[in-house]
Structure 1
Amino acid sequence: MPATEANTDAVHTPERLTLSASAIEITREICDIESVSGNERRLADAIEATLADAAHLEVIRHGNCVVARTDLGRAQRVIIAGHIDTVPVNGNLPTRFETIDGHEYLWGRGTVDMKAGVAVQLKLAAELSEPRVDVTWMWYDNEEVSSDLNGLGLLAADRPDLFEGDFAILGEPSNGQVEGGCNGTLRFELRTRGVRAHSARAWVGDNAIHKLGAVLELLAAYTPREVEVEGLVYREGLNAIGISGGVAGNVIPDEAMVHINYRFAPSSSVAEAIAYMEELFAGYEILIVDASEGARPGLDATIARNFVAAVGAEPRPKYGWTDVARFSALGIPAVNFGPGNPLKAHADDERVATAQIIDGERALRAWLSGN
């Protein structure tokens, strides 16, 4: 076999992460390993290889999802999870440090959503060999894309035994605060129908695009509901996120569609959200294209209350949908807790305050170690 062919078939040796470094440096290291959804293998390989020698952890690989767990016989088990994929890069890698108004930031894709949280988790997973609770760490792929590809969902379907736990923490960016539960989300297509005609004789046709006018007016005038759930107030949202229609420059269109996203409070089910949209848009043709249940705050569990008190946070609602909903559906109370301002998630100037990374590591370390 020619040498070039032999090299092609050589065994891939995964790189190792430097988990002895600061959580800030680990954040930079894993952000600079590009892992846009669908391209997580290199980072998953690095995580698996780095933790393989940790004697206190059992490491399990499932696709591009890596699980590491302790088995110390503790009375309670906590699941701590984070996704390793990002939205597409747009000139914001490699990472760099910035100073703004005297505060240091790490700038670049994934710093907020959510590799700073993952970096904190990786460092603690490697260093805490005797946590006061058993811990199942989960790092998974394809969170930023279609729900059917979500690595956490696929893991839950194939290995439900790994989801035994009393409490779950998702490292989504929350400005270092505790955000309970999450809104549900519903996406649907609303269509109007008409009759095609030559635009020079429009009166013999029926313009489907014009019929969307009333729908757009309703959306523009809609006042989002604020719904209190277990002491937290969730703000809903109803917005057009896409629109299409038209046949040609001289044809009256016979079909038009507006794509709508409804974010609903976790007090409602998907079925109730659909019923509300059908009532609001009565008389229109609606096709549901995606739906995910929300998650109630889950802060009434004793272990959840203890966590909130230990990290010194005031619980807030999570307006966006996150994978806490998957844990909630399994009966596991779950919260979002991670460094980074959610408003900078997916932004071209995505950046995380380095102080939040250190504070997040300190708080989570203290709670897990009981100090």
Structure 2
Amino acid sequence: MALDLGDLHALFRQIVDCESVSRHEKELADAVEAALSGLAHLEVTRIGNSLVARTTLGRPERVLVAGHLDTVPVVDNLPSRLEHRSDGDYLVGRGTCDMKGGVAVALWLAARLTEPAKDVTWVFYEAEEIAAEYNGLGLIATQRPDLLEADLAILMEPTDGRVEGGCQGTMRFTLTTLGTAAHSARSWTGHNAIHDLRPILEILRDWQGHDPLVEVDGLTYHEGLNATMVSGGVAGNVIPDRAVVQINYRFAPDKSAAEAQAQMRRLFDGWPMEVLDLSDPARPGLDRPLARSFVDGVGTEPLPKYGWTDVARFFGLGIPALNFGPGDALCAHKADECCRVAALDECASALGGWLDGSGEAAR
């Protein structure tokens, strides 16, 4: 497949219609590599199904722009279709929002910005939607960390064209209560483990009454602590001797993952806890001059990022990072996932203009 780098909208649709569910990005990665390798101003490196393309102009600052090639599974939502709505044309299909709109913008700009005011590293990577061990950014950081060196990273996550700073950390864990099994006709001879979940649920309920708003570097994050799954019991006439509640804590970037875990262990002291997943957040870093410059260039007030994104990986590498891209994140992963086509033009103009220093993208 030869990608059309001359027409942003056509390129967008080509990228969307090339199915690339996680672990099956090869066809799209091959097409992106072929497109980038034909550009004389870029040095291209491939690691697995991830591509890194860099300018080497000796500029005093380097900006990294990244987008993941993979999507969640297709559910009869490919090939894409164009819908005409009251506020413009929308491309509907898997990956349109998360995040092939951003990939299309980055690839289109990579072809056009031959002499940007800042050196640029373009990263198109695999396996963001699945377990961290497969993540293309992680593989690059392990094998060639020098390729990710930058003064600022911009992750093309769907933000509806707004800058979203940092990201929340996330912790998933289970708490277990233990009882004694018995026949339900003689329940007093046993001990019901499900009933013992009550104090845990009361802690969770009471937590909702405290102020979950946390300000970090000028952005206000809304924390969340919720039971998401409950399991217990083996039959309808058996008193359960074990019950498990799964809890998800979304925490602000004022604390590390280790600090968040310690906080949860104090809150739920007395119950066996198993940590299933724990990821550090990322501070916004919008006080850095280069990030501030980009925010000013976009021209809208930055927002906090709810949820976890790969900006946390860059934060862990000591690189300030922010989220910016076309598409409304509320559409991500839906069966009717979509992206307003004009949003790509708006993001390309803002990002391209800032990178080349002209105030507007190359046309």
Query: Which interval holds the TM-score relative to the shorter structure?
Result: over 0.9
| Cα distance in 2 for residues equivalent to 1:348 and 1:218 | 35
What does the per-residue CA deviation read over 1:122-144, in whole Å, with 9 as the maximum and x for residues that have no partner?
01111211111111111111111
| Stretches of structure 1 lacking an aligned partner (at least 5 in a row) | 1-14
Local SS of the residue matching 1:155 = helix
Residue 269 in structure 1 maps to residue 235 in structure 2: no
Q: Which position in structure 1 is the counterpart of 2:5?
A: 19
Q: Which position in structure 1 is the counterpart of 2:306?
A: 319
Pairing partner for 1:121 from 106, 112, 125: 106
Given residue 118 of structure 2, which amino acid in structure 1 is its aligned partner? V
Given residue 288 of structure 1, which amino acid in structure 2 is its aligned partner? V
Q: Which position in structure 2 is the counterpart of 1:213?
A: 198
Pairing partner for 2:78 from 78, 81, 93: 93
Q: Which position in structure 2 is the counterpart of 1:284?
A: 271
Q: Which position in structure 2 is the counterpart of 1:181?
A: 166
Aligned pairs for 1:40-51 (under 5 A) are 40-51=25-36
What does the per-residue CA deviation read over 1:84-127, in whole Å, with 9 as the maximum and x for residues that have no partner?
11111222211111122242211111111111001000011112
Pairing partner for 1:365 from 346, 349, 352: 352
Local SS of the residue matching 2:15 = helix
**Please, what TM-score do these two structures have when normalized by structure 1?**
0.93
Local SS of the residue matching 1:91 = coil
| Cα distance in 1 for residues equivalent to 2:23 and 2:228 | 24
Q: Which position in structure 1 is the counterpart of 2:361?
A: none
What does the per-residue CA deviation read over 1:194-234, in whole Å, with 9 as the maximum and x for residues that have no partner?
11222222211112122223323433443261100011001
Aligned pairs for 1:114-263 (under 5 A) are 114-223=99-208, 225-263=212-250
| Cα distance in 2 for residues equivalent to 1:242 and 1:331 | 35
Cα deviation for residue 40 of structure 1 reads 1.2
Cα deviation for residue 162 of structure 1 reads 1.0
Q: Which position in structure 2 is the counterpart of 1:296?
A: 283
CA gap 1:285/1:197 in 2 versus in 1, 3 angstroms: same
Pairing partner for 1:82 from 29, 43, 67: 67
What does the per-residue CA deviation read over 1:316-345, in whole Å, with 9 as the maximum and x for residues that have no partner?
110111111111111111110001111111
Q: Which position in structure 2 is the counterpart of 1:106?
A: 91
Cα deviation for residue 187 of structure 1 reads 0.9
| Stretches of structure 2 lacking an aligned partner (at least 5 in a row) | 359-363
Q: Which position in structure 2 is the counterpart of 1:11?
A: none
Larger deviation, residues 320-329 vs 192-201: 192-201
| Cα distance in 2 for residues equivalent to 1:245 and 1:82 | 41
| Cα distance in 2 for residues equivalent to 1:43 and 1:242 | 36
| Cα distance in 2 for residues equivalent to 1:104 and 1:222 | 43
Q: Which position in structure 1 is the counterpart of 2:339?
A: 352
Local SS of the residue matching 1:129 = coil
Larger deviation, residues 29-38 vs 95-104: 95-104
| Cα distance in 2 for residues equivalent to 1:122 and 1:239 | 39
Q: Which position in structure 2 is the counterpart of 1:8?
A: none
| Cα distance in 1 for residues equivalent to 2:227 and 2:127 | 25
Cα deviation for residue 185 of structure 1 reads 0.7
Given residue 32 of structure 1, which amino acid in structure 2 is its aligned partner? D
Local SS of the residue matching 1:291 = strand
| Cα distance in 2 for residues equivalent to 1:145 and 1:222 | 30
Local SS of the residue matching 1:122 = helix
Aligned sequence identity (%): 58
Q: Which position in structure 1 is the counterpart of 2:47?
A: 62
| Cα distance in 2 for residues equivalent to 1:259 and 1:299 | 34
What does the per-residue CA deviation read over 1:28-58, in whole Å, with 9 as the maximum and x for residues that have no partner?
1111111111211111111112211111111
Cα deviation for residue 148 of structure 1 reads 2.0
| Cα distance in 1 for residues equivalent to 2:167 and 2:65 | 17
Given residue 2 of structure 2, which amino acid in structure 1 is its aligned partner? R
**Please, what TM-score do these two structures have when normalized by structure 2?**
0.95
Local SS of the residue matching 1:240 = strand
